[in-house]
Structure 1
Amino acid sequence: MRHQAVTVLGLGPMGQAMANVFLDHGYEVTVWNRTPERADDLVAKGAIRAPTVGEAVRAGDLTILSLTDYAAAYAILEQAKDELAGRIFVNLGSATPAEARQAANWLAALGAAHLTGGVLTPPSGIGTPGPVTLYSGPREVLDAHGATLELLTGIDYRGEDPGLAALYYQLEISMFWTALLGYLHATAMARANGISATEFAGTAAKTFAGMTEFFEFYAPRIDAGDHSGDVDRLSMSAASIEHVVRTAGDSGVDATLPTAMLEIVRRGIADGHAGDSFTSLIETLRR
């Protein structure tokens, strides 16, 4: 059975990892990068280095865009604008939902199909069991090329709207960076008080694992608009975060992060939610 021919545009660490996986599975892989030398190792392994974007796109049944952002995608695809009709593009670069929808419309107007993707793993996870990529766009396109895309990661399809994968991706990334920064801030306080990052790691892991119970308990209440203060109160949250701010100061650690959290909580209190749950802040954040 003939494997699909795959083109990879963009050979940063993620693009390199994807091209290598396809090569390992016997695919015909064509690559293109603004800096051609980045393809040297892949070419030595059997990839074809296309001299132009147009030749790269023509060579693949499927074209993977592994680029910094959608601005880079436009800059590259404009070089082959007249050759995009009938082609399939999977854009795995980060974008806002609006940018993903705009790109899908732009390609559709040129006769091409577009899937939005959000890769939820670093390059080291590509081709390994477990990681997933969020996808949205035409279901028939995903069905036709799913076997190829599953070589990279598992597939989490979010619907026809090309903006949905980008939206879910940004939701997860928002939580990821916020949580990671919280971890680093706590670790900085721990180290300032003689506790190593290794010693603290177990406690941190238990804290994050326990967050799933929070999500499961509060999500139905949030959907119902129920921010009753029967379990927790925003005034209690303010007092708790104030202690974190003071502990950071006493430890000689920058308190910008907990101070910003405290400011949001105080805004919620000013909105009249002192006796309501911490979840009432969702109303404050929406404004």
Structure 2
Amino acid sequence: MSEQKQPVSVVGLGDMGAALALAFVDAGHPTTVWNRTMEKADRLVQMGATAAPSLVAAASASPLVVVNVTGGEVARGLLERAGDALAYSDVVNLSDGTAGDARRTAAWAAAHGVGYVHGQIETIPAGIGEPSSVIVYGGSAEVYERHRTTLDVLAGNGRLVSGDPGTAALFGMGIHSVMWGLLNGFVHASGMLTAEGVEVGTFLAGADVQLRQLHDFLGVLAAEIDKGEYAVPTSGLATHLPSIEDLLRQGEDVGLDNELVEVTRRWVARAVGDGHGADNYSRLVDYVRAG
């Protein structure tokens, strides 16, 4: 006899929500779906999901309700509308939003006796269900463990990182911040290189060792930031300024938008002016926090 899989309800059927629902269907979980515009459920119903006639019906159909909508405030509003229908369900909220959004939704859930975990998806819809995909969770360890096997359908690397639901949201936003910083730097470098007739692929091949060293350097910076200790014996912030100025002048020579580099110069120059020229790049976290 085949194992009976846990029923799941998925609220929100955008690109990501539909991918979540399809992963549950493919894994054999009885899956109930609901969306404000129910036309988005048609393909999932053809694949084996059940369309709920209302949000309340979806919320009461399964012991696990997975929410994926645009924005933390929207997610909480839907849970509030579902109200008592969630009395016998746990909620895993996979909607984007701030740490504050996640904590406010968790507080609402606690006040209404609803088990709650916030999850942050760190992949694109096509990555849902892949062994390499990542979802981090924050909130009730009891709720997470109760549904862990079901949630593992969504990502090969799902893990609870904190009892604080806001921490999961912070992990996601931290990845975005690093990602956009990296991508913006790469785009700026590409503009500079190609303006001078240098192929970007050639640059990457030649800079492979340095780029891998930069990745390893993040661990050094993290340790310094966590300890609040920034001093280094050589190559402090003051040594960065000439290179930053050279990069700005090169960008000006070929007509680049140098705003990204100008922000870097502003942070470094302020730190050096405040007497931190012998500190490592980790010192700049103080200037980011200060605004």
Q: How would you bin the TM-score normalised by the shorter chain?
A: over 0.9
Checking the alignment, whether the CA contact within 8 Å between 1:114 and 1:137 is kept in structure 2 is yes
Q: Deviations over 1:76-96 (max 9, x none)?
A: 223322322232111111122
Name the residue aligned to 1:4.
Answer: 6
Q: Deviations over 1:229-252 (max 9, x none)?
A: 413121111111111111111122
1:250 pairs with one of 232, 250, 253: 253
| Secondary structure in 2 matching 1:273 | coil
Checking the alignment, whether the CA contact within 8 Å between 1:135 and 1:156 is kept in structure 2 is yes
2:38 pairs with one of 36, 39, 49: 36
Pairs within 5 Å for 1:113-128: 113-128=115-130
Cα 1:76–1:220 shift into 2, 3 Å: closer
1:186 pairs with one of 178, 185, 189: 189
Name the residue aligned to 2:17.
Answer: 15
Checking the alignment, whether the CA contact within 8 Å between 1:237 and 1:278 is kept in structure 2 is no
Q: Partner letter of residue 257 of structure 2?
A: D
Shift of 1:27: 1.2
Looking at structure 1, the residues matched to 36 and 195 of structure 2 have their Cα atoms a distance apart, in angstroms, of: 45
Shift of 1:205: 5.6
Name the residue aligned to 1:98.
Answer: 100
Q: Partner letter of residue 50 of structure 1?
A: A
Cα 1:222–1:58 shift into 2, 3 Å: closer
Name the residue aligned to 1:238.
Answer: 241
Checking the alignment, whether the CA contact within 8 Å between 1:135 and 1:155 is kept in structure 2 is yes
Checking the alignment, whether the CA contact within 8 Å between 1:230 and 1:277 is kept in structure 2 is no
1:266 pairs with one of 264, 269, 282: 269
Checking the alignment, whether the CA contact within 8 Å between 2:221 and 2:281 is kept in structure 1 is no
Looking at structure 2, the residues matched to 95 and 33 of structure 1 have their Cα atoms a distance apart, in angstroms, of: 19
| Secondary structure in 2 matching 1:285 | helix
Cα 1:86–1:222 shift into 2, 3 Å: same
1:74 pairs with one of 73, 76, 82: 76
Name the residue aligned to 1:84.
Answer: 86
Q: Partner letter of residue 103 of structure 1?
A: T
Range moving further from structure 2, 11-20 or 266-275: 266-275
Looking at structure 1, the residues matched to 205 and 14 of structure 2 have their Cα atoms a distance apart, in angstroms, of: 34
Looking at structure 2, the residues matched to 194 and 17 of structure 1 have their Cα atoms a distance apart, in angstroms, of: 42
Range moving further from structure 2, 162-171 or 144-153: 162-171
Pairs within 5 Å for 1:186-205: 186-203=189-206
Count of aligned pairs: 287
Please give the root-mean-square deviation of Cα atoms over the aligned residues, in Å: 1.8
| Secondary structure in 1 matching 2:129 | coil
Pairs within 5 Å for 1:135-146: 135-146=137-148
| Secondary structure in 1 matching 2:231 | coil
Checking the alignment, whether the CA contact within 8 Å between 1:233 and 1:274 is kept in structure 2 is yes
Range moving further from structure 2, 224-233 or 172-181: 224-233
TM-score, normalised via structure 1 length: 0.93
| Secondary structure in 2 matching 1:272 | coil
Q: Partner letter of residue 81 of structure 2?
A: Q
TM-score, normalised via structure 2 length: 0.92
- Unmatched tracts of structure 1, length 5 or more: none
Looking at structure 1, the residues matched to 213 and 202 of structure 2 have their Cα atoms a distance apart, in angstroms, of: 19
- Unmatched tracts of structure 2, length 5 or more: none
Range moving further from structure 2, 54-63 or 198-207: 198-207
Name the residue aligned to 1:165.
Answer: 168
Q: Deviations over 1:172-206 (max 9, x none)?
A: 22111111111111112222222334444445665
Shift of 1:282: 2.2
Checking the alignment, whether the CA contact within 8 Å between 1:183 and 1:204 is kept in structure 2 is no
| Secondary structure in 1 matching 2:278 | coil
Shift of 1:115: 0.4
Q: Deviations over 1:68-118 (max 9, x none)?
A: 111211332233223222321111111222221110010121221110101
Q: Partner letter of residue 185 of structure 1?
A: H
Looking at structure 2, the residues matched to 204 and 182 of structure 1 have their Cα atoms a distance apart, in angstroms, of: 14
